[in-house]
Amino acid sequence: MTERQEQTDALVIGAGPAGLMAAEVLAATGRRVLVLDQKPSVGRKFLMAGRSGLNLTKSEDPATFARVYGPSADWLGPMLRAFGPEQVTAWAEGLGQPVFTGSTGRVFPRAMKASPLLRAWLARLRAARVEIRPRWRFDGWDGPAARFGAPDGPAQVLADATVLAMGGASWARLGSDGAWTAALRAAGAPCTPFAASNVGLRVAWSDHMTRHFGTPVKGVALVVLGRRHRGEFIVSARGLEGGGIYAVSAAVRDGAALTLDLLPDLDTAAVIQRLARPRGGQSLSNHLRRTLRLPPVSLALAREWAGPLPTDPAALAALLKAVPLRHDGPRPLDEAISTVGGLPRATLTDGLMLKARPGVFCAGEMLDWDAPTGGYLLTGCFATGRWAGLAAAEWLTGASVDGPDSPRLI
């Protein structure tokens, strides 16, 4: 079948947060922008993230915020300084979506959903004459043209600049399947294998844990590589899930041992002192509940991973402060909130243009960077999408498009 061909100024492949942000920037320069996405509707993973409250960003100073990205902080730093927490907040409010900052610094829309924000964003893009087409699957390149499987057959699109924002490799049913790596490798851009990030842990529980399934574990600290992380998680039939676990998943993925401090607000000496109080005729479990206020799920976890509890106060205190968290590794890749891997920094210019294919820029979870949940992941997608869009616009115009004092990206 002969493939039909059309042409546009700027092509964006992928209609998630990074792709839509790139499209917004490009449209602001007056260029014709075409956005293509393989799913029947746009922003599917974005909408899923908003079901439990859309955490847009975190209110922190720029230096502290950037450090959270670990080894990628130096790479992403300029992008996050240009579009970090303050700018994300202003952008959302500019769409008519007021926000609030929670007690931990996390920033949410007052609507606590992604759908109102996405509707307002799409309306603004339509007003800027951005054309969005669903059900277009990227199949690589044929010379200068991008090839697609479209609803009415094979098609090609010629563009003066292209931004790729096709996601990582988790939640394939929402569009992030990582299938694009084959096309980029064929184009001469090597990709780092994907690995799970912000993902739960598999645990083969003993029968006595069944009654605790669905129970949140609160007031504890997870300790890995000498660092302590406070956060809740859930005991589920499949293992451990939730923000506390996601915060340590990168280190655990790399093989680091994990322990659980059930009493992070007490030092070991204070725990020993409480345990040394007379027990009388009480069972050890009741003694622990009375003296340390340990909930049943915490005691169950201690017994699950450490076996019979010692009765000596010093030995028991040491155990409760460092319960070895035994698990069978991360949950499957497709269950991860995000992934690490994809296009490494060495394959891209400072403007996120593919060195192997000039005029093609990349953003979002396609890039090999890692970020915890808590607003960092979404802000990173916004920031890299905007950066790639600015660089693509500069490629088209031959000059900086973000003000006279902005650094040249190309």
User: What mean pLDDT do residues 25-46 have?
Assistant: 96
Band (401; pLDDT cuts 50, 70, 90) = low
CA distances from 62 to 25, 84, 167, 386, 408 (A): 22, 7, 25, 17, 21
Helix axes 73-82, 376-397, angle to 10 degrees: 80
Inform me whether the pLDDT recorded for 410 exceeds 90: no
Inform me whether the pLDDT recorded for 31 exceeds 60: yes
Band (400; pLDDT cuts 50, 70, 90) = low
User: What mean pLDDT do residues 102-131 have?
Assistant: 96
Q: How many residues comprise the chain? A: 410
Contact (CB, 8 A) for 251 and 225: yes
pLDDT at position 204, please?
97
Residue 259 neighbours by CB distance under 10 Å: 15
pLDDT at position 51, please?
80
CA angle 274, 279, 281 (to 5 degrees): 165
In three-state secondary structure terms, 381 is helix
Q: Return the amino acid letter for 184.
A: L
Band (265; pLDDT cuts 50, 70, 90) = very high
pLDDT in tens, 187-202: 999 999 999 999 999 9
pLDDT at position 398, please?
81
Q: Give the residue from 334, 170, 329, 341 showing the smallest Cα distance to 252.
A: 329
pLDDT at position 310, please?
94
Strand pairing of 338-342 and 145-150? unpaired
Residue 192 neighbours by CB distance under 10 Å: 15
CA distances from 386 to 86, 357, 382 (A): 15, 20, 6
Contact (CB, 8 A) for 83 and 22: no
Strand pairing of 258-261 and 221-224? antiparallel
Band (3; pLDDT cuts 50, 70, 90) = confident
User: What mean pLDDT do residues 75-92 have?
Assistant: 97
Helices (H), 219-312: 243-246, 249-253, 268-275, 284-292, 296-306
pLDDT in tens, 220-256: 999 999 999 999 999 999 999 999 999 999 999 989 9
Inform me whether the pLDDT recorded for 306 exceeds 70: yes
CA distances from 272 to 15, 109, 292, 321, 376 (A): 56, 45, 10, 11, 39
Residue whose token pair is 């000596």: 312
Band (404; pLDDT cuts 50, 70, 90) = very low
d(CA 254, CA 405): 41
**CA dihedral over 245, 247, 252, 253, signed as positive or negative:** positive
pLDDT in tens, 141-154: 999 999 999 999 99
Inform me whether the pLDDT recorded for 353 exceeds 70: yes
Contact (CB, 8 A) for 196 and 336: yes
For the chain, what is the total number of helices (H) and then of strands (E)? 14, 20
**CA dihedral over 117, 124, 399, 361, signed as positive or negative:** positive
User: What mean pLDDT do residues 331-347 have?
Assistant: 95
Band (405; pLDDT cuts 50, 70, 90) = very low
Residue whose token pair is 């569009």: 175
Q: φ, ψ for residue 384 (rounded to 5)?
A: -70, -35
Contact (CB, 8 A) for 170 and 339: yes
pLDDT at position 1, please?
53
Q: Average model confidence (pLDDT) for the chain?
A: 94
pLDDT in tens, 163-176: 999 999 999 999 99
First to last CA, the chain: 38
Q: In this structure, what token pair is assigned to residue 296?
A: 């049943």
pTM score of the predicted model:
0.92
Question: Which helix (H) or strand (E) segment is 261 a member of?
Answer: strand 258-261
Contact (CB, 8 A) for 277 and 215: no
pLDDT above 90 coverage of the chain, percent: 90
In three-state secondary structure terms, 259 is strand
Inform me whether the pLDDT recorded for 60 exceeds 90: yes
User: What mean pLDDT do residues 329-353 have?
Assistant: 95
Q: φ, ψ for residue 136 (rounded to 5)?
A: -110, 115
Beta-carbon contacts of 240 under 8 Å, excluding residues fewer than 6 positions away, are: 200, 201, 203, 233, 234, 327
Inform me whether the pLDDT recorded for 406 exceeds 60: no
Q: Give the domains, in start order, of the chain with CATH numbers.
A: 4-197+336-397 (3.50.50.60), 201-324 (no CATH)
Contact (CB, 8 A) for 9 and 159: yes
Beta-carbon contacts of 286 under 8 Å, excluding residues fewer than 6 positions away, are: none
